A and B are shown apart, each in its own frame.
Chain A
Amino acid sequence: MSPVIGLVNYGKAGNVFNVKKALEFLGAKVKIVEKCGDFDGTDKIVLPGVGSFNDAMAEIEADGIKESLVEQAGKKHILGICLGMQILTKAGFEFGEAKGLGIVDGEARKINVGYKIPHMGWSYVEIVKENPIFKGVDEKDSFYFFHSLEIIKTDQILGFSKYNDYRFVSAIQAEEKGLFGVQFHPEKSRKSGLKVLKNFIDL
């Protein structure tokens, strides 16, 4: 039986097309989640990465799914992609401060090292802790990044990547909650990214 992935749709740009396409390509069933009852019948949850921190959190609150999302953590595996990972932390500082879901430690801050922002392009992931979602991924696998914020103040780190010479957290895990976050876009990262999504589907 292929698992049903609940794909949370938030943000005005609202484009979940590419994540849905990749998950389906890998054999998963996808259910779009837009209100709290929609979590019923899903086996795992993916938070995609589009829009801004503030908009995404506002949308999640407006749709009334904030509490049920927090409730799902620990019961179902969750994968946060890019912004979808950032909103799992306690707070984001994109346009002023906005509260995050607070499911994992840390906060999301603008990358501020003098390089062009957003960081857009391909980088490797230096995996610092053995874990199931990077199974089969090695140092030659590159991933597509597209972000202005980075995660800081967390020790739940799975991997680091580099933007030119600047090293930042690019993957996190809250092991006891079965939760993962990746800063890159696995749905846009060729076979390297598909490996990560497949590992998540197979958890």
Chain B
Amino acid sequence: MKHVRIIARLDVKPPYVVKPIHFEGLRKKGAPEEMAAEYYEQGADEICYIDIVASLYRREFLYQHVEKTANSIFVPLCAGGGIKTVDDFSKLFHHGADKGVINTFALQEDVEIIDKAAKIFGSQAIVVHIEAKKRDGWWECFSDCGRVRSEKDAVKWAQEVERRGAGEILVSSLDTDGTEKGFDIDLIGQIVSKTNIPVVAASGAGKLEDIRDVIVQADPDAVAVGTMLHYQITSIDKIKRYLKDNGVEVAI
């Protein structure tokens, strides 16, 4: 049995964690390093820190915030937002991130950054974030937190980034993110079944059943939870206990 990882996801607009609804209408929630420390204490298997405005304003990544976050946790830290160069990845790793997450630059400007980064840092350190929106019978990839279209098919894009050396795919849905109405199970299931690297299901958890359903029906390797934690609808330890009671193997 594999242990499904439960990841606490922090969407950050420095200096605050914010909770976007459909990636817009930001609500302030708290300091990322404090929230990361709390989710770590609750038993998060990993923390995912994404600076959601870095790309938009082409602003330098706030490495000191990543480092502060890394300092308060002893589980893997995945971080990203606005990565454009191999050096950006390197800086992230030197400030305590274990994995770097990239979307916009790879999708819209130069896909080869994935090949280059994977060669230097290893596939395990490169996570590609897919932000997908349902179209008629397919899903389109977006960038810049759902603001910019690409006309690329999300499932084909997932296969391409795997081929180029990505080690993991974080799948968000612009249709379900922040809605608390459940995951886009079809989208996640398609990407899981058509790739051979770990897939993290994100966007849409509103109740514990949603988390179980996406695990049972789409078979992701991990689930990222944000809203439910930030609004204290539940906690990581409650999620894990619930999953364990419902036949899903998790690390407690």
Residues of A within 8 A of B (CB): 12-15, 17-18, 21-22, 25, 51-52, 116, 118, 120-123, 140, 142, 144, 146, 148, 164-165, 185, 187-191, 193-194
Q: How far is the CB of A108 from chain B (nearest CB, A)?
A: 15
Residue from B120, B168, B197 within 8 A of A12 (CB atoms): B120
4 shortest interchain CB distances as A-B pairs: A122-B251, A142-B251, A122-B3, A15-B93
Interface residues of B in 78-103 (CB under 8 A from A): 93-96, 98
A164 touching B1 in the complex, CB below 8 Å, given contacts A21-B96, A116-B197? yes
Residue from B5, B45, B75, B124 within 8 A of A118 (CB atoms): B124
Residues of B within 8 A of A (CB): 1-3, 5, 40, 43, 45, 70-71, 74-76, 93-96, 98, 120-125, 167-168, 196-198, 221-222, 251-252
Residue from A17, A121, A146, A165 within 8 A of B95 (CB atoms): A17
| Contact in complex: B123, A122 (CB < 8 Å) | no
| Contact in complex: B74, A22 (CB < 8 Å) | yes
Residue from A18, A164, A185, A193 within 8 A of B70 (CB atoms): A18
Which residues on B sit within 8 Å (CB–CB) of A15? 93-94
Which residues on B sit within 8 Å (CB–CB) of A13? 93, 120-122, 125
Which residues on A sit within 8 Å (CB–CB) of B198? 116, 120
Additional A-B contacts beyond A17-B70, A18-B98, A120-B167 (9; CB < 8 A): A17-B95, A52-B122, A118-B167, A120-B221, A121-B221, A122-B5, A122-B251, A144-B75, A190-B43
A188 touching B75 in the complex, CB below 8 Å, given contacts A116-B197, A142-B251? yes
| Contact in complex: B196, A142 (CB < 8 Å) | no
Which residues on A sit within 8 Å (CB–CB) of B221? 116, 120-121
Residue from A51, A188, A194 within 8 A of B98 (CB atoms): A188
The CA-CA distance from A13 to B124 in the complex, in Å, is 12
The CA-CA distance from A188 to B211 in the complex, in Å, is 24
| Contact in complex: A118, B123 (CB < 8 Å) | yes
